[in-house]
Amino acid sequence: MFEAMEKAFQIGEVNVALYSPLTLAYIGDCVYELIIRTNLVTRGNAPVNKLNKKASNLAKASTQARIIESIMDMLSEDEEAAYKRGRNAHSCTKAKNASTSDYRKATGFEALIGYLYLQKKFDRIMELVKKGFQEEHIS
Protein backbone atom coordinates (compact mmCIF):
# COMPACT_ATOMS: atom_id res chain seq x y z
CA MET A 1 0.00 0.00 0.00
CA PHE A 2 2.81 2.44 0.85
CA GLU A 3 4.35 1.85 -2.55
CA ALA A 4 1.03 2.65 -4.23
CA MET A 5 0.78 5.89 -2.22
CA GLU A 6 4.35 6.81 -3.14
CA LYS A 7 3.53 6.35 -6.80
CA ALA A 8 0.12 8.05 -6.75
CA PHE A 9 1.25 11.08 -4.74
CA GLN A 10 4.92 11.26 -5.79
CA ILE A 11 6.17 10.78 -2.23
CA GLY A 12 9.94 11.02 -2.04
CA GLU A 13 12.38 9.77 0.57
CA VAL A 14 11.42 10.60 4.13
CA ASN A 15 13.98 11.55 6.77
CA VAL A 16 12.30 10.41 9.99
CA ALA A 17 14.89 12.24 12.10
CA LEU A 18 13.32 15.53 10.96
CA TYR A 19 9.85 14.64 12.21
CA SER A 20 8.60 15.59 15.64
CA PRO A 21 7.78 12.67 17.92
CA LEU A 22 4.13 13.73 18.00
CA THR A 23 3.98 13.67 14.20
CA LEU A 24 5.42 10.15 14.29
CA ALA A 25 2.79 9.22 16.90
CA TYR A 26 0.08 10.76 14.70
CA ILE A 27 0.85 8.45 11.77
CA GLY A 28 1.72 5.56 14.09
CA ASP A 29 -1.72 5.75 15.68
CA CYS A 30 -3.31 5.35 12.24
CA VAL A 31 -1.06 2.44 11.29
CA TYR A 32 -1.74 0.65 14.58
CA GLU A 33 -5.48 1.23 14.17
CA LEU A 34 -5.34 -0.22 10.65
CA ILE A 35 -3.54 -3.31 12.00
CA ILE A 36 -6.18 -3.75 14.69
CA ARG A 37 -9.13 -3.30 12.34
CA THR A 38 -7.66 -5.52 9.64
CA ASN A 39 -6.97 -8.23 12.21
CA LEU A 40 -10.55 -8.07 13.52
CA VAL A 41 -12.32 -7.83 10.16
CA THR A 42 -10.38 -10.66 8.55
CA ARG A 43 -11.41 -13.01 11.36
CA GLY A 44 -14.96 -12.92 10.04
CA ASN A 45 -17.96 -10.74 9.49
CA ALA A 46 -19.35 -9.21 12.69
CA PRO A 47 -21.58 -6.33 13.72
CA VAL A 48 -19.70 -3.05 13.52
CA ASN A 49 -20.50 -2.11 17.12
CA LYS A 50 -18.84 -5.35 18.32
CA LEU A 51 -15.83 -4.73 16.09
CA ASN A 52 -15.55 -1.18 17.38
CA LYS A 53 -15.72 -2.30 21.00
CA LYS A 54 -12.90 -4.81 20.46
CA ALA A 55 -10.85 -2.29 18.49
CA SER A 56 -11.30 0.37 21.17
CA ASN A 57 -10.04 -2.04 23.82
CA LEU A 58 -6.89 -2.77 21.80
CA ALA A 59 -6.29 0.89 20.96
CA LYS A 60 -6.66 2.30 24.47
CA ALA A 61 -3.60 3.74 26.18
CA SER A 62 -3.42 1.12 28.93
CA THR A 63 -3.27 -1.71 26.38
CA GLN A 64 -0.62 0.07 24.32
CA ALA A 65 1.38 0.74 27.50
CA ARG A 66 1.36 -2.95 28.38
CA ILE A 67 2.33 -3.88 24.83
CA ILE A 68 5.35 -1.56 24.76
CA GLU A 69 6.44 -2.84 28.17
CA SER A 70 6.30 -6.42 26.87
CA ILE A 71 8.41 -5.69 23.77
CA MET A 72 11.01 -3.26 25.17
CA ASP A 73 13.69 -5.96 25.27
CA MET A 74 13.20 -6.53 21.52
CA LEU A 75 13.90 -2.94 20.50
CA SER A 76 17.10 -1.79 18.82
CA GLU A 77 18.82 1.35 20.11
CA ASP A 78 17.21 3.43 17.33
CA GLU A 79 13.77 1.99 18.02
CA GLU A 80 14.11 2.60 21.73
CA ALA A 81 15.19 6.17 21.02
CA ALA A 82 12.09 6.70 18.82
CA TYR A 83 9.89 5.30 21.59
CA LYS A 84 11.50 7.52 24.24
CA ARG A 85 11.17 10.62 22.05
CA GLY A 86 7.45 9.94 21.78
CA ARG A 87 7.05 9.04 25.45
CA ASN A 88 8.82 12.21 26.57
CA ALA A 89 7.10 14.56 24.11
CA HIS A 90 4.92 17.26 25.60
CA SER A 91 1.48 16.95 24.11
CA CYS A 92 -1.24 19.59 24.29
CA THR A 93 -3.83 16.87 24.78
CA LYS A 94 -4.57 15.09 28.02
CA ALA A 95 -5.24 11.44 28.65
CA LYS A 96 -8.87 10.39 28.57
CA ASN A 97 -9.62 7.41 30.79
CA ALA A 98 -5.90 6.66 31.22
CA SER A 99 -3.14 7.49 33.66
CA THR A 100 -0.58 10.04 32.54
CA SER A 101 2.05 7.29 32.61
CA ASP A 102 0.05 4.98 30.35
CA TYR A 103 -0.80 7.86 28.01
CA ARG A 104 2.86 8.80 27.62
CA LYS A 105 3.90 5.17 27.05
CA ALA A 106 1.13 4.82 24.46
CA THR A 107 2.33 7.97 22.70
CA GLY A 108 5.83 6.50 22.66
CA PHE A 109 4.50 3.23 21.24
CA GLU A 110 2.64 5.11 18.50
CA ALA A 111 5.77 7.17 17.74
CA LEU A 112 7.73 3.93 17.38
CA ILE A 113 5.15 2.53 14.98
CA GLY A 114 5.17 5.78 12.97
CA TYR A 115 8.98 5.79 12.91
CA LEU A 116 9.07 2.25 11.52
CA TYR A 117 6.23 2.91 9.08
CA LEU A 118 7.91 5.93 7.49
CA GLN A 119 11.06 3.84 7.12
CA LYS A 120 8.98 1.17 5.37
CA LYS A 121 9.87 -1.42 8.01
CA PHE A 122 6.49 -3.10 7.78
CA ASP A 123 7.72 -6.57 8.74
CA ARG A 124 9.29 -5.14 11.88
CA ILE A 125 6.03 -3.43 12.84
CA MET A 126 4.18 -6.73 12.44
CA GLU A 127 6.81 -8.60 14.46
CA LEU A 128 6.55 -6.16 17.38
CA VAL A 129 2.75 -5.85 17.34
CA LYS A 130 2.31 -9.62 17.04
CA LYS A 131 4.61 -10.19 20.01
CA GLY A 132 2.72 -7.54 21.99
CA PHE A 133 -0.60 -9.16 21.12
CA GLN A 134 0.76 -12.56 22.17
CA GLU A 135 1.89 -11.13 25.50
CA GLU A 136 -1.57 -9.61 25.97
CA HIS A 137 -3.18 -12.93 24.94
CA ILE A 138 -4.73 -11.30 21.90
CA SER A 139 -4.83 -13.44 18.78
Give the domain range for residue 87.
19-138
Mean pLDDT for all residues in the chain = 92
Q: Which residues lie below 8 Å from residue 91, measured CB to CB, with a gap of 6+?
A: 22, 107
On the question of pLDDT at 136 being above 90, the answer is no
- Supply the pLDDT for residue 14: 85
Domain count, the chain: 1
Look at residue 6 and tell me if it is in a domain.
no
Q: Exactly one of 29, 73, 102, 123 is catalytic; name it.
A: 29
Catalytic-residue membership of 102: no
Look at residue 9 and tell me if it is in a domain.
no
**CATH number of the domain where residue 82 is located:** 1.10.1520.10
Look at residue 12 and tell me if it is in a domain.
no
Look at residue 7 and tell me if it is in a domain.
no
- Supply the pLDDT for residue 97: 81
Look at residue 13 and tell me if it is in a domain.
no
Look at residue 65 and tell me if it is in a domain.
yes
Report pLDDT digits (tens) over 41-96: 999 899 999 999 999 999 999 999 999 999 999 999 999 999 999 999 987 777 77
Q: Which residues lie below 8 Å from residue 108, measured CB to CB, with a gap of 6+?
A: 21, 25, 68, 83, 84, 85, 86, 87, 88
